[in-house]
Structure 1
Amino acid sequence: MQIMALPQMVDIEEDTLTIVCSLSNPPQVKALFVLELQRNTSVSFEKIVSITLNIDNFQEEIYYVDLSLQGRTTATGTLKPLSTAELRLTFTKENVRCQEDFKEYMCKMSGVDSNSNSIPEQDAESNPVKISYRVQPNRNEMPGVRIFEQQFDTNERQFEVGTALQLTCTGQIGSDPSGTIRWCAKTGSAQSFTGLPKTPLHSQSSPSGCQYTRSSTITYNLTTSDIYTQFLCESGYSGLCGTGTAEQSLNTTLGKGRGQNWNIQIVS
């Protein structure tokens, strides 16, 4: 038996996943009665779908053992001719379930070999294949603003020069739980965002559907240089600041006298 996953690394919402069970050496098989696809449940491999030859009418019948797959997958296949025998399970890209579907799979068959003997177990099973996924973050929540060492976010949007602010951004980091949310800034005279030198504090990541989420908190001291400064929190970045697939920004301006007026807006 052999198993093939197309693709083995799935881009969520972009790729359709197809798992195919087929014979690696059809001439060694005389007759095929069952092809089945199994999934690892972390305890053992369990059958989820199969194609079986009904010995009463010699018709091929496809069975869903895992009924949760019905309606969001398509199972097709044939047991003859042996040269094209296969079981094919296709997951529609809109209906994959990241915590259930991306596991190890293997194929198994039942039949007789060219000498009319039952096919031994070591030849009747494929090696397992692990299917993985990746997804880019696409949403961060509106950042929170808190005066340093205070317990709660403030609704105030005007601060004195020298105020230490804690900025917190919570959002998606993609399929890698070690992903981070970074902070960048751009003053009124700068042409582009640059990373803030201080390392932000990150919460533990937690799964949420196909994404992991976490928060990032950084402290910033307002100075007279912040006549107009934009702060950017982003995840899913691949290079310089501003390359993130999920981002939010805070715009800052100095008000009259010693105050500063903070305006929050979404950057899409």
Structure 2
Amino acid sequence: MKANKAFNLKKNTRAQVGIGTLIIFIAMVLVAAVAAAVLIQTSGILQQKAQSTGKQSTQEVSSNLMIKNIEGVRAKTGASLSSTIDLLKLQVALNVGSSPVDVNQVVISITDGSIAHNLVYGGNTKSYGAMTGFSGSNESADNLEALLTQSTNPTKFYTVDRIRDEDSSFSQGNPVMNTGDLIVVYISTTSSTGAALTEIGSTSGDLQTSNLSLVPRTLVNIVLTPESGAATVAEFVTPSSYGVKENVQLYP
């Protein structure tokens, strides 16, 4: 007779860490590290793009140029004065916090309601070619004379002169405005009446017409468009009578 054998099963709740589990754990750590590196890199790129976009947007919506004053000058011969404004003198400065502005890239649009011109700086050769008689030296008076007396110049160009330039960085050949600079922009508005006379301010010669006609009560619109930033607009109506004034305050 055989003896009865009893079989007992042991309960063991302890797990054994094998090589497979270790490999899975290492893989998870590596995946997490790669994912973290990708997220950090992506966030850095997005931050740089956001900063660049914000800076560009600020430049586009902010106005760099500011027109502080506009004065009109009438042509004359002796005591005879033109019935129109034949030269505009715009005092232009930079707004607070503006970056430097290259006047070579500033386009000035002007209209008297009938005729419109898009003007570039006399030293800019890209749009219309070189302005006839332009000099890159600091002789702004010579460039103003060329603007007023050389054919087609009044319909295509404007010239400038510096009023305040503490660091001496502004010149006729390199007209770059920095913070604190103040310049005067000359725009020829000589009409057929003014061209029949011989002098505008200290400039004399055979005056050329701009085809504009700034008679009394004329609505004039001027827009300064820099390379970057918002355009600057000045709109005014000429006085009802110029009287015997050679220089007429127009704006503001």
Structure ranking higher on relative contact order (CA contacts 8 Å, 6+ apart): 2
What TM-score, normalized to structure 2? Answer: 0.36
Q: Relative to total residues, which structure has the larger strand share, 1 or 2?
A: 1
What TM-score, normalized to structure 1? Answer: 0.34
* Higher Rg of the two aligned structures: 2
